[in-house]
Chain A
Amino acid sequence: MFATSWFLAALAVALAWPVPVLLSRAAWPARAPFAALILWQAIALAGGLSMIGAMLCFGLEPLGENLLAGLEHLIGIALGLESMDTLGIWHAFALSAAALLLAHLVFTLLLTFYRIQTQRRRHRDLLHLLSSPSTDRPDTLVINHDVPVAYCLPGGSRSVTVLSDGLMNLLSPDELRAVLIHEEAHLAQRHHLLLWAFAAWRSALPWLPTSKLAQRSVSSLIEMLADDVALREVSRATLVTAIALVASGSAQLPATELVATGGAKIDTPETTSARLGRLLTPRPPLGRGLQALVLGASALLLAAPTALLIVPGVFS
Protein backbone atom coordinates (compact mmCIF):
# COMPACT_ATOMS: atom_id res chain seq x y z
CA MET A 1 0.00 0.00 0.00
CA PHE A 2 2.84 2.38 0.82
CA ALA A 3 4.53 1.97 -2.56
CA THR A 4 1.12 2.23 -4.24
CA SER A 5 0.41 5.56 -2.59
CA TRP A 6 3.77 6.95 -3.73
CA PHE A 7 3.23 5.70 -7.24
CA LEU A 8 -0.24 7.25 -7.33
CA ALA A 9 1.11 10.52 -5.95
CA ALA A 10 3.76 10.58 -8.68
CA LEU A 11 1.09 9.88 -11.30
CA ALA A 12 -1.12 12.64 -9.88
CA VAL A 13 1.74 15.14 -10.09
CA ALA A 14 2.63 14.06 -13.64
CA LEU A 15 -0.99 14.39 -14.77
CA ALA A 16 -1.42 17.73 -13.02
CA TRP A 17 1.51 19.46 -14.61
CA PRO A 18 4.06 18.10 -17.16
CA VAL A 19 1.73 15.84 -19.13
CA PRO A 20 -0.97 18.45 -19.84
CA VAL A 21 1.66 21.09 -20.61
CA LEU A 22 3.28 18.81 -23.19
CA LEU A 23 -0.04 17.75 -24.67
CA SER A 24 -1.30 21.31 -24.96
CA ARG A 25 1.84 22.24 -26.93
CA ALA A 26 1.72 19.21 -29.23
CA ALA A 27 0.67 19.72 -32.84
CA TRP A 28 -0.88 16.29 -33.44
CA PRO A 29 -4.22 16.88 -31.65
CA ALA A 30 -5.33 19.06 -34.59
CA ARG A 31 -4.83 15.99 -36.79
CA ALA A 32 -6.72 13.63 -34.48
CA PRO A 33 -9.17 15.74 -32.46
CA PHE A 34 -11.29 12.81 -31.38
CA ALA A 35 -8.39 10.76 -29.99
CA ALA A 36 -6.99 13.87 -28.31
CA LEU A 37 -10.35 14.55 -26.69
CA ILE A 38 -10.40 11.02 -25.26
CA LEU A 39 -6.85 11.47 -23.97
CA TRP A 40 -7.76 14.73 -22.19
CA GLN A 41 -10.68 13.00 -20.52
CA ALA A 42 -8.43 10.13 -19.42
CA ILE A 43 -5.88 12.60 -18.04
CA ALA A 44 -8.51 14.43 -16.03
CA LEU A 45 -10.18 11.28 -14.70
CA ALA A 46 -6.92 9.46 -13.95
CA GLY A 47 -5.54 12.65 -12.40
CA GLY A 48 -8.46 12.98 -10.01
CA LEU A 49 -8.44 9.27 -9.26
CA SER A 50 -4.74 9.18 -8.45
CA MET A 51 -4.92 12.32 -6.29
CA ILE A 52 -7.67 10.82 -4.16
CA GLY A 53 -6.19 7.31 -4.41
CA ALA A 54 -2.74 8.39 -3.22
CA MET A 55 -4.13 9.94 -0.05
CA LEU A 56 -6.50 7.06 0.50
CA CYS A 57 -3.74 4.44 0.17
CA PHE A 58 -1.45 6.37 2.48
CA GLY A 59 -4.18 6.74 5.08
CA LEU A 60 -5.32 3.12 4.88
CA GLU A 61 -1.81 1.70 4.88
CA PRO A 62 -1.88 0.45 8.50
CA LEU A 63 -5.36 -1.04 8.08
CA GLY A 64 -5.06 -3.52 5.26
CA GLU A 65 -3.09 -4.65 2.29
CA ASN A 66 -5.41 -3.16 -0.30
CA LEU A 67 -8.13 -0.58 -0.67
CA LEU A 68 -11.07 -2.88 -0.04
CA ALA A 69 -9.56 -4.51 3.04
CA GLY A 70 -8.51 -1.09 4.32
CA LEU A 71 -11.95 0.40 3.79
CA GLU A 72 -13.53 -2.54 5.58
CA HIS A 73 -11.40 -1.87 8.66
CA LEU A 74 -12.11 1.86 8.36
CA ILE A 75 -15.84 1.19 8.46
CA GLY A 76 -15.24 -1.02 11.49
CA ILE A 77 -13.44 1.86 13.19
CA ALA A 78 -16.16 4.31 12.26
CA LEU A 79 -18.81 1.99 13.73
CA GLY A 80 -16.77 1.60 16.91
CA LEU A 81 -16.22 -2.12 16.36
CA GLU A 82 -12.46 -1.82 16.04
CA SER A 83 -9.87 0.21 17.86
CA MET A 84 -8.39 3.15 16.01
CA ASP A 85 -4.99 2.84 17.69
CA THR A 86 -3.43 1.59 14.49
CA LEU A 87 -4.32 4.81 12.74
CA GLY A 88 -1.72 7.57 13.23
CA ILE A 89 -2.49 11.26 13.03
CA TRP A 90 -1.03 11.54 9.50
CA HIS A 91 -3.10 8.64 8.31
CA ALA A 92 -6.25 10.24 9.67
CA PHE A 93 -5.23 13.50 8.04
CA ALA A 94 -4.70 11.85 4.65
CA LEU A 95 -8.06 10.07 4.88
CA SER A 96 -9.87 13.30 5.72
CA ALA A 97 -8.13 15.08 2.86
CA ALA A 98 -9.15 12.31 0.44
CA ALA A 99 -12.76 12.51 1.61
CA LEU A 100 -12.76 16.30 1.38
CA LEU A 101 -11.28 16.32 -2.12
CA LEU A 102 -13.81 13.76 -3.33
CA ALA A 103 -16.68 15.73 -1.82
CA HIS A 104 -15.30 18.95 -3.29
CA LEU A 105 -15.08 17.46 -6.80
CA VAL A 106 -18.56 15.98 -6.70
CA PHE A 107 -20.05 19.13 -5.20
CA THR A 108 -18.40 21.39 -7.79
CA LEU A 109 -19.63 19.16 -10.58
CA LEU A 110 -23.19 19.39 -9.31
CA LEU A 111 -22.98 23.11 -8.59
CA THR A 112 -21.66 23.80 -12.09
CA PHE A 113 -24.46 21.70 -13.55
CA TYR A 114 -27.06 23.61 -11.54
CA ARG A 115 -25.58 26.97 -12.52
CA ILE A 116 -25.49 26.10 -16.22
CA GLN A 117 -29.04 24.76 -16.12
CA THR A 118 -30.39 27.88 -14.40
CA GLN A 119 -28.69 30.21 -16.82
CA ARG A 120 -29.73 28.11 -19.79
CA ARG A 121 -33.37 28.13 -18.66
CA ARG A 122 -33.36 31.91 -18.26
CA HIS A 123 -31.67 32.28 -21.63
CA ARG A 124 -34.21 29.98 -23.26
CA ASP A 125 -37.15 31.88 -21.71
CA LEU A 126 -35.93 35.19 -23.07
CA LEU A 127 -34.97 33.64 -26.37
CA HIS A 128 -38.47 32.34 -26.97
CA LEU A 129 -39.92 35.80 -26.45
CA LEU A 130 -37.37 37.50 -28.67
CA SER A 131 -36.79 35.13 -31.57
CA SER A 132 -38.92 33.56 -34.25
CA PRO A 133 -38.63 30.07 -35.72
CA SER A 134 -36.67 29.79 -38.94
CA THR A 135 -38.93 29.33 -41.93
CA ASP A 136 -36.80 26.74 -43.68
CA ARG A 137 -34.98 24.80 -41.00
CA PRO A 138 -36.33 22.83 -38.04
CA ASP A 139 -35.09 23.50 -34.49
CA THR A 140 -33.61 26.80 -35.59
CA LEU A 141 -34.47 30.21 -34.17
CA VAL A 142 -33.71 33.59 -35.69
CA ILE A 143 -33.08 36.59 -33.50
CA ASN A 144 -33.15 40.27 -34.50
CA HIS A 145 -29.57 41.39 -34.00
CA ASP A 146 -27.01 43.02 -36.25
CA VAL A 147 -23.95 41.22 -34.92
CA PRO A 148 -23.37 37.98 -36.81
CA VAL A 149 -23.75 35.20 -34.30
CA ALA A 150 -24.62 31.52 -34.35
CA TYR A 151 -24.73 29.27 -31.33
CA CYS A 152 -26.50 26.22 -30.09
CA LEU A 153 -28.50 25.92 -26.90
CA PRO A 154 -28.53 22.32 -25.69
CA GLY A 155 -31.58 20.98 -23.88
CA GLY A 156 -32.40 17.42 -24.88
CA SER A 157 -35.31 17.36 -27.28
CA ARG A 158 -35.60 21.14 -27.00
CA SER A 159 -32.10 21.79 -28.32
CA VAL A 160 -32.02 24.68 -30.75
CA THR A 161 -29.59 26.47 -32.99
CA VAL A 162 -29.84 30.25 -32.87
CA LEU A 163 -28.90 32.55 -35.74
CA SER A 164 -28.90 36.32 -35.87
CA ASP A 165 -30.20 38.48 -38.71
CA GLY A 166 -26.68 39.91 -38.93
CA LEU A 167 -25.30 36.47 -39.68
CA MET A 168 -27.90 35.70 -42.31
CA ASN A 169 -27.16 38.99 -44.06
CA LEU A 170 -23.41 38.50 -43.89
CA LEU A 171 -23.09 34.92 -45.13
CA SER A 172 -23.92 33.35 -48.46
CA PRO A 173 -26.39 30.41 -48.35
CA ASP A 174 -23.52 27.90 -48.54
CA GLU A 175 -21.59 29.57 -45.76
CA LEU A 176 -24.72 29.70 -43.64
CA ARG A 177 -25.19 25.99 -44.20
CA ALA A 178 -21.60 25.40 -43.05
CA VAL A 179 -22.27 27.29 -39.83
CA LEU A 180 -25.53 25.43 -39.23
CA ILE A 181 -23.98 22.01 -39.78
CA HIS A 182 -21.15 23.02 -37.43
CA GLU A 183 -23.57 24.06 -34.67
CA GLU A 184 -25.76 21.00 -35.14
CA ALA A 185 -22.67 18.80 -34.86
CA HIS A 186 -22.02 20.31 -31.40
CA LEU A 187 -25.51 19.29 -30.37
CA ALA A 188 -25.44 15.86 -31.98
CA GLN A 189 -22.08 14.98 -30.41
CA ARG A 190 -23.20 16.29 -27.00
CA HIS A 191 -20.23 18.62 -26.68
CA HIS A 192 -21.98 20.58 -23.94
CA LEU A 193 -21.50 17.63 -21.57
CA LEU A 194 -17.74 17.74 -22.10
CA LEU A 195 -17.72 21.50 -21.60
CA TRP A 196 -19.70 21.08 -18.40
CA ALA A 197 -17.32 18.45 -16.98
CA PHE A 198 -14.20 20.41 -17.85
CA ALA A 199 -15.68 23.69 -16.60
CA ALA A 200 -16.38 21.96 -13.29
CA TRP A 201 -12.89 20.45 -13.26
CA ARG A 202 -11.46 23.91 -13.72
CA SER A 203 -13.54 25.63 -11.08
CA ALA A 204 -12.79 22.80 -8.63
CA LEU A 205 -9.01 23.06 -9.07
CA PRO A 206 -8.36 26.44 -10.70
CA TRP A 207 -4.71 26.58 -9.57
CA LEU A 208 -3.72 23.35 -11.32
CA PRO A 209 -2.19 23.83 -14.78
CA THR A 210 -4.04 20.75 -15.98
CA SER A 211 -7.57 22.07 -15.43
CA LYS A 212 -6.98 25.31 -17.31
CA LEU A 213 -5.05 23.71 -20.18
CA ALA A 214 -7.58 20.90 -20.44
CA GLN A 215 -10.53 23.26 -20.68
CA ARG A 216 -8.83 25.39 -23.31
CA SER A 217 -7.77 22.38 -25.40
CA VAL A 218 -11.13 20.67 -25.13
CA SER A 219 -13.03 23.74 -26.30
CA SER A 220 -10.66 24.01 -29.22
CA LEU A 221 -10.92 20.31 -30.09
CA ILE A 222 -14.71 20.26 -30.15
CA GLU A 223 -14.67 23.16 -32.62
CA MET A 224 -12.35 21.12 -34.85
CA LEU A 225 -14.62 18.08 -34.60
CA ALA A 226 -17.63 20.17 -35.59
CA ASP A 227 -15.61 21.68 -38.45
CA ASP A 228 -14.79 18.17 -39.67
CA VAL A 229 -18.49 17.33 -39.76
CA ALA A 230 -19.21 20.49 -41.75
CA LEU A 231 -16.41 19.64 -44.20
CA ARG A 232 -18.28 16.51 -45.26
CA GLU A 233 -20.93 18.73 -46.84
CA VAL A 234 -19.32 22.04 -47.72
CA SER A 235 -16.01 22.98 -49.28
CA ARG A 236 -12.99 24.00 -47.26
CA ALA A 237 -13.03 27.52 -48.73
CA THR A 238 -16.68 28.00 -47.78
CA LEU A 239 -16.08 26.92 -44.20
CA VAL A 240 -12.95 29.06 -43.83
CA THR A 241 -14.78 32.11 -45.14
CA ALA A 242 -17.70 31.49 -42.82
CA ILE A 243 -15.46 31.08 -39.76
CA ALA A 244 -13.44 34.18 -40.59
CA LEU A 245 -16.52 36.30 -41.22
CA VAL A 246 -18.28 35.18 -38.05
CA ALA A 247 -15.15 35.55 -35.94
CA SER A 248 -14.35 38.99 -37.27
CA GLY A 249 -17.92 40.11 -36.69
CA SER A 250 -18.01 39.24 -33.04
CA ALA A 251 -15.64 39.76 -30.17
CA GLN A 252 -15.03 36.79 -27.96
CA LEU A 253 -15.04 35.96 -24.32
CA PRO A 254 -12.78 33.73 -22.27
CA ALA A 255 -14.13 30.21 -22.33
CA THR A 256 -15.24 29.97 -18.70
CA GLU A 257 -17.73 32.79 -18.91
CA LEU A 258 -19.30 31.33 -22.00
CA VAL A 259 -19.68 27.94 -20.42
CA ALA A 260 -21.35 29.68 -17.52
CA THR A 261 -23.91 31.27 -19.80
CA GLY A 262 -24.89 27.83 -20.98
CA GLY A 263 -24.35 28.50 -24.65
CA ALA A 264 -22.14 25.81 -26.09
CA LYS A 265 -20.36 28.19 -28.40
CA ILE A 266 -16.85 28.80 -27.21
CA ASP A 267 -14.48 30.60 -29.47
CA THR A 268 -11.51 32.59 -28.39
CA PRO A 269 -9.29 34.28 -31.00
CA GLU A 270 -6.71 31.57 -30.24
CA THR A 271 -9.26 28.85 -30.95
CA THR A 272 -10.27 30.62 -34.12
CA SER A 273 -6.72 30.88 -35.41
CA ALA A 274 -6.06 27.25 -34.58
CA ARG A 275 -9.19 26.27 -36.50
CA LEU A 276 -8.33 28.50 -39.44
CA GLY A 277 -4.70 27.42 -39.57
CA ARG A 278 -5.79 23.80 -39.67
CA LEU A 279 -8.23 24.45 -42.53
CA LEU A 280 -5.94 26.72 -44.53
CA THR A 281 -2.99 24.33 -44.39
CA PRO A 282 -4.62 20.90 -44.21
CA ARG A 283 -2.46 18.14 -42.77
CA PRO A 284 -3.37 14.49 -43.18
CA PRO A 285 -5.13 12.92 -40.21
CA LEU A 286 -2.93 11.04 -37.79
CA GLY A 287 -2.34 7.46 -38.94
CA ARG A 288 -4.66 4.75 -37.64
CA GLY A 289 -1.84 3.09 -35.73
CA LEU A 290 -0.93 6.27 -33.91
CA GLN A 291 -4.56 7.03 -33.14
CA ALA A 292 -4.94 3.54 -31.71
CA LEU A 293 -1.82 4.19 -29.63
CA VAL A 294 -3.38 7.36 -28.19
CA LEU A 295 -6.61 5.53 -27.36
CA GLY A 296 -4.63 2.65 -25.83
CA ALA A 297 -2.63 5.10 -23.71
CA SER A 298 -5.90 6.66 -22.54
CA ALA A 299 -7.27 3.29 -21.52
CA LEU A 300 -4.03 2.41 -19.71
CA LEU A 301 -4.07 5.75 -17.93
CA LEU A 302 -7.48 4.95 -16.50
CA ALA A 303 -6.81 1.27 -15.85
CA ALA A 304 -3.52 1.72 -13.98
CA PRO A 305 -4.72 3.68 -10.94
CA THR A 306 -7.97 1.70 -10.82
CA ALA A 307 -6.10 -1.62 -10.78
CA LEU A 308 -3.60 -0.39 -8.21
CA LEU A 309 -6.39 0.64 -5.90
CA ILE A 310 -8.50 -2.44 -6.19
CA VAL A 311 -6.38 -5.49 -6.96
CA PRO A 312 -4.90 -6.87 -3.72
CA GLY A 313 -1.17 -6.80 -3.29
CA VAL A 314 -0.26 -5.64 -6.78
CA PHE A 315 2.14 -3.07 -5.51
CA SER A 316 2.78 -3.85 -1.87
Chain B
Amino acid sequence: MATLGELERAVMDLLWERPEAITANELRDLLSQRPAADGRGTDVKSLAVTTVLTVLSRLEKKGLVERERNTRPHRYQAVTSRAEHTAELMLEVLGSAPDREAVLARFIGTVSDGEAETLRKLLGRS
Protein backbone atom coordinates (compact mmCIF):
# COMPACT_ATOMS: atom_id res chain seq x y z
CA MET B 1 0.00 0.00 0.00
CA ALA B 2 1.35 3.39 -0.99
CA THR B 3 1.86 6.00 1.72
CA LEU B 4 -0.19 9.18 1.75
CA GLY B 5 2.86 11.16 0.67
CA GLU B 6 3.39 8.96 -2.39
CA LEU B 7 -0.30 9.15 -3.23
CA GLU B 8 -0.27 12.93 -2.94
CA ARG B 9 2.57 12.95 -5.41
CA ALA B 10 0.85 10.62 -7.82
CA VAL B 11 -2.39 12.62 -7.64
CA MET B 12 -0.58 15.92 -8.24
CA ASP B 13 1.32 14.43 -11.17
CA LEU B 14 -1.98 13.41 -12.78
CA LEU B 15 -3.69 16.72 -12.07
CA TRP B 16 -0.74 18.70 -13.41
CA GLU B 17 -0.84 16.69 -16.63
CA ARG B 18 -4.40 17.67 -17.54
CA PRO B 19 -5.97 21.10 -17.90
CA GLU B 20 -9.56 20.05 -17.14
CA ALA B 21 -11.01 19.19 -13.74
CA ILE B 22 -11.78 15.53 -12.97
CA THR B 23 -13.73 13.62 -10.33
CA ALA B 24 -12.30 11.47 -7.58
CA ASN B 25 -13.66 8.37 -9.35
CA GLU B 26 -11.88 9.22 -12.60
CA LEU B 27 -8.75 9.98 -10.63
CA ARG B 28 -8.94 6.60 -8.91
CA ASP B 29 -9.20 4.84 -12.29
CA LEU B 30 -6.25 6.77 -13.66
CA LEU B 31 -4.19 5.93 -10.58
CA SER B 32 -5.01 2.23 -10.96
CA GLN B 33 -3.98 2.20 -14.63
CA ARG B 34 -0.75 4.02 -13.90
CA PRO B 35 2.30 1.77 -14.24
CA ALA B 36 4.35 1.59 -11.10
CA ALA B 37 6.74 4.41 -11.79
CA ASP B 38 10.44 4.57 -10.87
CA GLY B 39 10.47 0.94 -9.75
CA ARG B 40 9.34 1.78 -6.24
CA GLY B 41 5.96 0.34 -7.17
CA THR B 42 3.27 2.49 -5.62
CA ASP B 43 0.62 -0.21 -5.47
CA VAL B 44 -2.65 1.53 -6.10
CA LYS B 45 -4.62 -1.35 -7.62
CA SER B 46 -6.77 -1.70 -4.54
CA LEU B 47 -7.25 1.99 -3.99
CA ALA B 48 -10.59 3.06 -2.52
CA VAL B 49 -12.29 6.26 -3.66
CA THR B 50 -12.45 7.42 -0.05
CA THR B 51 -8.66 7.27 0.12
CA VAL B 52 -8.44 9.40 -3.02
CA LEU B 53 -10.87 11.86 -1.42
CA THR B 54 -8.74 11.99 1.72
CA VAL B 55 -5.66 12.74 -0.34
CA LEU B 56 -7.55 15.38 -2.31
CA SER B 57 -8.79 17.14 0.81
CA ARG B 58 -5.25 17.17 2.23
CA LEU B 59 -4.00 18.70 -0.99
CA GLU B 60 -6.86 21.20 -0.92
CA LYS B 61 -5.84 22.27 2.58
CA LYS B 62 -2.30 22.76 1.38
CA GLY B 63 -3.62 25.08 -1.32
CA LEU B 64 -2.55 22.86 -4.21
CA VAL B 65 -5.91 21.60 -5.40
CA GLU B 66 -9.24 23.34 -5.88
CA ARG B 67 -12.69 21.84 -6.00
CA GLU B 68 -15.60 22.85 -8.25
CA ARG B 69 -18.44 22.89 -5.75
CA ASN B 70 -21.34 23.48 -8.15
CA THR B 71 -21.10 20.06 -9.79
CA ARG B 72 -21.98 16.64 -8.37
CA PRO B 73 -19.75 14.73 -7.90
CA HIS B 74 -17.17 17.43 -7.19
CA ARG B 75 -14.48 17.91 -9.79
CA TYR B 76 -10.89 18.66 -8.82
CA GLN B 77 -8.03 20.46 -10.52
CA ALA B 78 -4.59 21.80 -9.72
CA VAL B 79 -4.52 25.43 -8.56
CA THR B 80 -1.50 26.34 -10.66
CA SER B 81 0.90 24.50 -12.93
CA ARG B 82 3.89 22.51 -11.77
CA ALA B 83 6.24 25.10 -13.25
CA GLU B 84 4.61 27.91 -11.30
CA HIS B 85 4.88 25.99 -8.05
CA THR B 86 8.53 25.31 -8.75
CA ALA B 87 9.14 28.97 -9.51
CA GLU B 88 7.44 29.94 -6.26
CA LEU B 89 9.54 27.47 -4.31
CA MET B 90 12.76 28.68 -5.91
CA LEU B 91 11.78 32.25 -5.20
CA GLU B 92 11.79 31.38 -1.51
CA VAL B 93 15.35 30.20 -1.87
CA LEU B 94 16.70 32.74 -4.32
CA GLY B 95 14.65 35.86 -3.85
CA SER B 96 14.18 38.17 -6.79
CA ALA B 97 14.61 37.25 -10.45
CA PRO B 98 18.16 36.31 -11.39
CA ASP B 99 20.38 38.81 -13.14
CA ARG B 100 23.52 36.86 -13.94
CA GLU B 101 25.60 39.65 -15.42
CA ALA B 102 24.87 42.17 -12.67
CA VAL B 103 25.78 39.81 -9.84
CA LEU B 104 28.99 38.69 -11.55
CA ALA B 105 29.99 42.28 -12.30
CA ARG B 106 29.24 43.24 -8.74
CA PHE B 107 31.52 40.71 -7.15
CA ILE B 108 34.24 41.06 -9.72
CA GLY B 109 34.12 44.75 -8.79
CA THR B 110 34.95 43.94 -5.19
CA VAL B 111 37.97 41.68 -5.74
CA SER B 112 41.43 42.76 -6.82
CA ASP B 113 42.52 42.88 -10.49
CA GLY B 114 44.65 39.78 -10.15
CA GLU B 115 41.81 37.84 -8.56
CA ALA B 116 39.35 39.03 -11.20
CA GLU B 117 41.79 37.87 -13.90
CA THR B 118 42.11 34.41 -12.33
CA LEU B 119 38.35 34.21 -12.07
CA ARG B 120 37.84 35.17 -15.71
CA LYS B 121 40.33 32.53 -16.76
CA LEU B 122 38.54 29.87 -14.71
CA LEU B 123 35.17 30.90 -16.07
CA GLY B 124 36.52 31.16 -19.61
CA ARG B 125 34.96 27.88 -20.62
CA SER B 126 31.39 28.99 -20.05
Number of cross-chain contacts by CB at 8 Å? 114
Contact size range, A: 35 or more
Taken together as a complex, chains A and B put the C-alpha atoms of A270 and B98 apart, in Å, by 16
Taken together as a complex, chains A and B put the C-alpha atoms of A130 and B15 apart, in Å, by 13
Give the contacting residue for A276; candidates B92, B102, B107; CB below 8 A. B107
The reply to whether A280 and B111 contact each other, CB–CB distance below 8 Å, is yes
The reply to whether B89 and A123 contact each other, CB–CB distance below 8 Å, is yes
Taken together as a complex, chains A and B put the C-alpha atoms of A129 and B14 apart, in Å, by 12
Give the contacting residue for B89; candidates A127, A240, A258; CB below 8 A. A127
The reply to whether A280 and B95 contact each other, CB–CB distance below 8 Å, is no
Does A149 sit within 8 A of B, measured CB to CB?
A: yes
The reply to whether A149 and B93 contact each other, CB–CB distance below 8 Å, is yes
Known: A130-B82, A248-B103. A143 touches B123 (CB 8 A): no
The reply to whether B107 and A145 contact each other, CB–CB distance below 8 Å, is no
Taken together as a complex, chains A and B put the C-alpha atoms of A248 and B126 apart, in Å, by 12
The reply to whether A145 and B87 contact each other, CB–CB distance below 8 Å, is yes
| Count, chain B residues at interface, CB 8 A | 40
Interface string of A125-138 (1 = CB under 8 A from B): 11111101000000
| A residues in contact with B98, CB < 8 Å | 147, 249-251
Known: A126-B85, A248-B104, A273-B110. A149 touches B115 (CB 8 A): no
The reply to whether B62 and A125 contact each other, CB–CB distance below 8 Å, is yes
Taken together as a complex, chains A and B put the C-alpha atoms of A237 and B93 apart, in Å, by 26
Question: Which chain A residue lies CB-closest to B38?
Answer: A132
Does A292 sit within 8 A of B, measured CB to CB?
A: no
Taken together as a complex, chains A and B put the C-alpha atoms of A98 and B80 apart, in Å, by 50
Taken together as a complex, chains A and B put the C-alpha atoms of A219 and B56 apart, in Å, by 40
| B residues in contact with A157, CB < 8 Å | none
Taken together as a complex, chains A and B put the C-alpha atoms of A248 and B94 apart, in Å, by 12
Give A246-261 interface residues, CB cut-off 8 Å to B. Answer: 247-253, 257-258, 261
Taken together as a complex, chains A and B put the C-alpha atoms of A252 and B96 apart, in Å, by 7
Does A294 sit within 8 A of B, measured CB to CB?
A: no
Taken together as a complex, chains A and B put the C-alpha atoms of A269 and B96 apart, in Å, by 14
Question: Which chain B residue lies CB-closest to A252?
Answer: B95
Taken together as a complex, chains A and B put the C-alpha atoms of A272 and B115 apart, in Å, by 13
| B residues in contact with A252, CB < 8 Å | 94-95, 103
Give the contacting residue for A272; candidates B62, B89, B107; CB below 8 A. B107
The reply to whether A269 and B106 contact each other, CB–CB distance below 8 Å, is yes
Does A45 sit within 8 A of B, measured CB to CB?
A: no
| A residues in contact with B86, CB < 8 Å | 130, 143-145
Give 8 new A-B contacts, CB below 8 A, not counting A128-B8, A249-B100: A123-B92, A129-B8, A130-B89, A144-B82, A251-B95, A258-B95, A277-B115, A280-B118
> Considering the complex of A and B, which 3 residue pairs feature the smallest CB-CB distances, nearest first?
A253-B95, A248-B104, A280-B115
Chain A contact residues, CB within 8 Å of chain B: 119, 122-123, 125-130, 132, 143-145, 147, 149, 151, 164, 170, 237, 240-241, 244-245, 247-253, 257-258, 261, 263, 265, 269-270, 272-273, 276-277, 280-281
Chain B contact residues, CB within 8 Å of chain A: 5, 8-9, 12, 38, 62, 64, 82-83, 85-90, 92-104, 106-107, 110-112, 114-115, 118-119, 122-123, 126
Ordered by A's residue number, 17 sampled pairs between the chains whose C-beta atoms are within 8 Å are A129-B85, A130-B86, A145-B87, A145-B90, A244-B119, A245-B123, A248-B101, A248-B104, A248-B123, A250-B94, A251-B97, A253-B95, A253-B96, A257-B95, A272-B107, A276-B119, A281-B114
